[in-house]
Copies of this chain bind each other. A is one copy, B any other.
Amino acid sequence: MKPLAVLNKAINQQVIVELKGKRGYRGILDGYDPHMNLVLRNAEEIHDNDVRRKLDSIIVRGDNVIYISP
């Protein structure tokens, strides 16, 4: 199953997104594009297992992504 097909299946589900620079986000996947730019809603920013910030909706730029876990 190709990476973008896996992302497509994860729409409306909770995902964990790990970014370069020790940042992580957890939220409901609302959308994506082929660059792996992502839209998350009800997002939480996580550093070292602590929730740092809550954001109703964020667009994460794909080139920061290390992995996405549906």
Write the residues of chain A forming the contact surface with B, with a CB cutoff of 8 angstroms. Answer: 1-7, 16, 19-21, 23, 25, 30-33, 36-39, 55-70
Contact = CB atoms under 8 A, between A and B. Distances in A.
B69 A6 contact: no
Contact of A5 (B3, B31, B55): B31
Nearest to A2: B31
> How many copies are assembled?
7
Given A21-B20, A59-B68, A66-B64, A38 B6 contact: no
A31 B3 contact: yes
A7 B38 CA distance: 12
A61 to B, nearest CB: 5
B67 A6 contact: no
